[in-house]
Structure 1
Amino acid sequence: MAADGPLLGLDRWVRHTVALLRADGGTALDAPAHFFADLGGTVPAIPLLLGLGALAAWRARRAGAARWWLPLPAAALAAALIPLLVVPAKAWFARPGPLGLPLQPHEWGWYPSGHTTTACVSYGVAALLVGRTLAPARRRLLYPATALLGLAVGWGLIWCDYHWFLDVLAGWCLAALVLRGLTAGLDRLAPDPFDRSGKS
């Protein structure tokens, strides 16, 4: 991954395919790709995560939940985990970006994608926290829409040639680990009221 190996062929193939698509009239997708790629920045992702964590706590308090305050530390923990997971991995792999320029002393590397991880953790955790205050029917809309947003951010980063495909894939995987762990923790500390009551 860091220097050579069979997986790098997949990265080159994806990059070559994207370049062909752009050359074949795909530049109309440049603006949406930049828009989605920008959604992976610390702003707006982290403020949205913290804001929706507060909203989830407020909704849980209104509903009379015993541990209504849990979304607040959960959102803060998720925000703190992003750099703790991404920065050491970037520094260890020290992988150059798609343009092949050597890393500068202040750069950590491109693998895994920080924008992908930031977007998927922030929007995913925010959706999870708010979703736990919604009826299951609304969650069935919220969760897939959030997953599509995470995919769109990754696509934008690849399309704009900011990241290799495997950088983005690693970001998706890191986010999935965080979401899985947070879900398990919340289920243990504050079981979903809809699972107990059978409401829909």
Structure 2
Amino acid sequence: MKGPHLNIGSDAGFKVDIMLLADNTGSMGSAINDVKANFVSAYQQLLTSTDWDAEVGVSYYKDSTDSDPFVVLQEITNDDVLLQSAVNNLNASGGGDTPEGQLYALTQLSERTVTGWRPGATRIICWFGDQPGHDPVTINGQTCTLESTCEALLHTNTFVCAFSMDPSNNLNGSEQQATVVTNKTNGVNDGEYVKFNVVQDGVVDFIFNFIKKHTP
């Protein structure tokens, strides 16, 4: 399967749902602090600088050995109070070994009604982290691979943009995971939707500016 090319454009009233998927393990402390401080203001800036009907949500992943390997803190909404409460509950910790559990998280976000995707909205997952995922990974009795994750995202027409964080800058790993997922879900073959060497301080503004300026 090959996904449609993501093309938001500048149409007034464009309906888009953006789900933040954060690596919430111990090495991501600076990025998580940035999310807490700037997520709501960056979202409001997106609204005021476009004519989009945009709503956002917050989720995170850790490792399969952590007690909370994947959590949706806030489903898609436009309520600033709920969003700030959600990001305040991020706490960078855990992680176990180097690879994490994001393939399970991405699969769940493609499928779960708890995500709150609105009917008719373009679905975008903004995924950021610094290490690749276990492949395969088994969490809560479900085994996910890179291939099955891509198929799940394609099946639900869910786009993914990925951001590989400094200093480790290893979201791709040896399998080129972030490049594969973003290429598959966006119907391209050029790595346009994965960005590398993203600085942890300022990650929120980087993500929203990417969506606004580079995705259309």
Shorter-chain-normalised TM-score: which range?
A: 0.3 to 0.5
Q: TM-score, normalised by structure 1?
A: 0.35
Higher helix share: 1
Higher strand share: 2
Higher gyration radius (CA) = 1
Q: TM-score, normalised by structure 2?
A: 0.33
